[in-house]
Amino acid sequence: RNELIGHVGLPILVLLVPTVLAARWVILRAFRPLEAAAHAIEAAPTERGVRIDDRDMPAEAMPFVAAINRLLDRLDSVAREQEAFAADVAHELRTPLSILSLELDRLDGKDAIPLKEEVTAMRRLIDQLLLMAQVNVEAAVPLPAKSIDLATLAKDLVARLAPGIIAGGRDIAVEVEEGHVAVAGHREAIMAALRNLVENAVRATPAGGTVTVIAGPGARLRVRDEGPGLAQHDLMRLVQRHERDAFASADGAGLGLAIAHRIMAAHRGHILAERNAGELILCFEQ
C-alpha cells in the first residue's frame, strides 16, 4: 500500500496540481476577451452601431458572438425603419395641417383663435419630430452637419420668440459670455431643442419675470428662469416621454424636454439642470 501511494499517488498529485493551475490559467486567458467585451458593451453609448469586437475571441465563443452581433444588426434595422416611418408620417401630416391653417385664417371671431393655436402647436411638434428623424436615421435624408455659432443661434431664437413672450406678460433677454464657441450640428434641430427649454422656462417664470438665454461659456446654451428651479434627478425623469412637471402646458403632449433630450443625444451632448442658478443647459461635446 505504501509502495502504491509512493509510486502512483504522489506522482499523480505532483502532476495534478500544476495541471489544475495550468488549466485555470488557460481558461481565464481564453475568457479574458469575453470579459473585455462585456466591459466595452457596458461602457458603450446608447446609440446604434455598437458591435462586439470578435478579433481576439476564442473559436469556441465565435458562434455566440456572431449571434449577438446579428441580433444587434436586426435591432438597428428595426430602429431605422421605425424612425423612417415616423419621418414619413410627419412629412405627410404637414400638408393637411397647412391646408387647415389656411382655412382657419378665413374664419373671423374669437372661436377661431384657439383652433389656430392648436394647429400651430401641432405643426411645430411635427416639425420637431421630423427634425429628430432626420438627425437620427440615415435613411431619412439627414441634414448636413454645419458649424453653428451658438451666440447667433440664441439671438435669432430670442428675436423670433420675443413678441409672443412679451405679449404674455414676461420678458426675454439674451446674453453672450466670453469663451463661447461654435459647434458642429444641425441648426434647426438645436434651435428646436433650445426653443423647448425656453418655453419650459416661460411657463415656470411668474408674470413680470424674465427668461434669459445665455450662450457660453464654452459649448453651452443656458436658459435661466425665475421659477423654483429643477434638480438633475427631476430633469432625468422629465426627459422621459409623457412625464410632466408642475408648469407643463395643460394641452401639450409632454414631449418638449424629451425631444430636446433626443436632439442633444443625436449631437453627442446632454441636458444639465442647475437648480441653484435656475438654469437648464444644453451641453455639447467640444
- In the chain, which stretches have pLDDT less than 70? 1-11, 13-14, 26-28, 30-31, 44-48, 83, 87, 91, 109, 131-145, 240-255, 286
Supply the pLDDT for residue 282.
93
Supply the pLDDT for residue 157.
93
Supply the pLDDT for residue 251.
44
Q: How far apart are CA 76 and CA 82, in angstroms?
A: 10
Supply the pLDDT for residue 45.
60
Is the pTM higher than 0.85? The answer reads: no
Supply the pLDDT for residue 253.
46
Q: Distance of alpha carbon 205 from its chain centroid, rounded? A: 25
At residue 148, φ and ψ (nearest 5 deg) are: -120, 125
pLDDT, one tens digit per residue, over 250-264 is 444 456 788 888 888
Supply the pLDDT for residue 5.
60
Find cell 446632454 and name the residue. Answer: 270
Supply the pLDDT for residue 152.
92
Q: Which residues contact 272 (CB under 8 A, 6 or more apart)?
A: 232, 235, 280, 281, 283
